[in-house]
Every structure is written in structure tokens, then in C-alpha cells.
Amino acid sequence: MRLVCLGLLIALLSTISIAGTQIVFLGTGMPRPDPERSGPAVAIVVDGTPYLVDIGTGIVRRASQSGIKGLEPPNLTRAFVTHLHSDHTLGFADLMLTPWIMGRTAPLEVYGPAGIADMSAHVLAAYKEDIAIRVNGLEHGNATGYRVNAYEIKPGLVYEDPKVKVTALLVRHGSWPQAFGYRFDTPDRSIVLSGDTAPTPSIVENCAGCDVLIHEAYAKAGSALRRPGWSEYLASFHTSAAELGEIAAKAKPKLLILYHQMYWGSSTEQTILDELRQVYKGPVVSAKDLDVR
């Protein structure tokens, strides 16, 4: 009887642990190879089903390291890419192949800007010998789980199932012809992710009091000293902490989370927070890899 009750309790606790929406930060870094911060990647996990945003370096290992129910490799089947910069896509081959090797049978579904289909095809072509050996050799791998269905999207509703509705919003990332942020609406939370962007009205419009706004930021302190023209680059491609403060004051999220943070020289993560708090007084946290919110 005790064993039966214990089994029921464990089953109940397991159900509780995956109920609702979790935000798992699989990578909060930038191109600099920081061992504490993997490449940009966020998982929105809804009742144990994961939806990935960006596929930076280390994505599958961070997902396994998280210990979150639903982020086991075979479950990684959907990803939404903000833009095609290398730091946001270097984990593409990993996401295609490692979960397949670990038992995924469903194709990977990837949504992103124009060019994502070509990228998918070329990465698969690069690994055609590996795939052939794994499928036709002694491993007897399945012939479906490495495949990729790539969807080149436009702003608006891009995905919907019973657990989530995903809306793509066009953002401004320098000379990229297309860069997206995303809004996720789940049964219990509304979440907006900026991707890489300079200040753009679409973030405010799509948040509008959302539960969580996840936004990139850079420290203005020291940025002009990095190299000539760097300040002009940042102003066109990214959002300063002070600019983000103004955005958040208009968007009014219940919680602002900083990710994909850029600082250099003597500036730090704390520098970004300090610059932000001079403008914005609402709730804010700075995400680190494997944080769960």
C-alpha cells in the first residue's frame, strides 16, 4: 500500500513540475566565447513541450544540462530563428543531428527569415556522409529524425497548436533585410522576445503589458572606446540599456529579463543594469545560462 501511495505521489509531483509555462535560458551569450554563457537560445516549455528560440552554440548540451522535463534531446522538434547571424545559428547542425542520434524520429521544424531553407539544405548536405553511415550502417538509424522542414515566415501568426500561439514581429537589426522577435501566448503567460534589434516600436506594440519581456541590451559605458565606428554600429544593430529602459516604460511588462548582453572593457553585467535602472524602475532581472523563470 505504501509503495502504491509513493508511486502516486511521485507521479503527481512529476505532473506538477511540468504544468504551466517555463522560460529556460539555454544560452545568454554573444559571439565572444565565454564558457559561462553559451550562444543565444531560449526554450519556452509549455506543459512539458519545448519551443526553442534561436539555436546558438551548445544548445543541445544546455538543454540536457537543464534537467527540465521536456528538454530531453528527442523532444527538441521546433525552433524559431530570429535572424541568420552566426551566433544565433551555430547550433543548427547540433539541433538537427544530436537529438536524432539520441532517438528523435520526427523531423525538425524550423521557422525563420528568408534564407533559413537554404541554410537547412546546406547543413544537411555538409553531413550527408555522416547521415548515410548512421542510416545505412550498423547503427540502423531512423531515416526521418534528421530531416528538416524549414518555413520562411513573414510578420504575423506563424505557428499555433493547443498549447501555444507564436507571432513573429519585424524588428530592426542594422542591414539585415529580415530580423524577427517573437511573441508566445500560452494558457498562462504572454512572452515577448526581442531577438537582436535596435529600438523598434513593434516591441512595445506586441508587449503592451505582457507578462514577460526578454530583451537584448548593451552597455553604453566604454562602447565608443572599442574601435572606430563601433558606436555607429551599435546604434544601428542593438539597443542600449537606457533605450531599453524607455522601451520597457512604454511596454509595461510584468517582468523584464535581460539576455544576449553586450559589455566590454571595464563594463560588466552590472553596468547594464545600472544604466537601465537610471531610466526604468520596474521589475527586472539579468538572465544567466540555465536560469528558469
Structural domain harbouring 219: 18-286
Q: pLDDT higher for 252 or 2? A: 252
Say what the pLDDT of residue 23 is: 98
pLDDT in tens, 124-173: 999 999 999 999 999 999 999 999 999 999 999 999 999 999 999 999 99
Say what the pLDDT of residue 27 is: 97
Q: Which three cell numbers stand for residue 194?
A: 526581442
Q: pLDDT higher for 287 or 231? A: 287
The phi, psi pair for 29, rounded to 5°, reads -90, -175
Number of domains comprising the chain: 1
- The answer to whether residue 293 sits within a structural domain is no
- The answer to whether residue 220 sits within a structural domain is yes
Judged against a pLDDT cut of 50, whether residue 14 lies above it is answered with no
Say what the pLDDT of residue 18 is: 57
pLDDT in tens, 193-238: 999 999 999 999 999 999 999 999 998 876 655 667 778 888 889 9
- Residue 82 Cα distances to 35, 100, 236, angstroms: 23, 23, 17
Instruction: Name the band, by pLDDT with cuts 50, 70 and 90, for residue 257.
Output: very high
50 by Cβ neighbours in 10 Å (0-12 / 13-18 / 19+) ranks as buried
- The answer to whether residue 6 sits within a structural domain is no
- The answer to whether residue 228 sits within a structural domain is yes
- The answer to whether residue 3 sits within a structural domain is no
Mean pLDDT value across residues 271-283: 95
Judged against a pLDDT cut of 50, whether residue 79 lies above it is answered with yes
Which stretch of 82-96, 204-218, 265-279 has the lowest confidence by average pLDDT?
265-279
Q: What angle do CA 200, 166, 55 make, to 5 degrees?
A: 80
Mean pLDDT value across residues 50-64: 98
* Percentage of the chain lying above the pLDDT 70 cut: 92
Judged against a pLDDT cut of 90, whether residue 244 lies above it is answered with yes
Say what the pLDDT of residue 263 is: 80
Say what the pLDDT of residue 222 is: 66
- The answer to whether residue 129 sits within a structural domain is yes
Judged against a pLDDT cut of 80, whether residue 174 lies above it is answered with yes
Q: For residue 31, count other CB atoms closer than 10 A to its CB.
A: 15
Judged against a pLDDT cut of 60, whether residue 11 lies above it is answered with no
Which of 260, 254, 170, 270 lies closest to 215, judged by CA?
260
The DSSP symbol for 107 reads P
Say what the pLDDT of residue 223 is: 65
Mean pLDDT value across residues 94-115: 98
Give the DSSP H or E segment for 110.
strand 108-112
Computed over every residue of the chain, the mean pLDDT equals 92
How far is residue 94's CA from residue 280's CA, in Å, rounded to a whole number? 38
What CATH number does residue 115 fall under?
3.60.15.10
Which stretch of 36-50, 58-72, 201-215, 225-239 has the lowest confidence by average pLDDT?
225-239
- The answer to whether residue 91 sits within a structural domain is yes
- Residue 245 Cα distances to 38, 197, 222, 278, angstroms: 25, 14, 19, 8
Say what the pLDDT of residue 226 is: 64
* Percentage of the chain lying above the pLDDT 90 cut: 83
How far is residue 279's CA from residue 246's CA, in Å, rounded to a whole number? 7
Mean pLDDT value across residues 169-190: 97
Q: pLDDT higher for 14 or 88? A: 88
Site of grid cell 572599442: 226
Site of grid cell 555522416: 130
- The answer to whether residue 193 sits within a structural domain is yes
Q: Is the pTM of this model over 0.85?
A: yes
Say what the pLDDT of residue 143 is: 97
Residue 228 neighbours by CB under 8 Å, 6+ apart: none
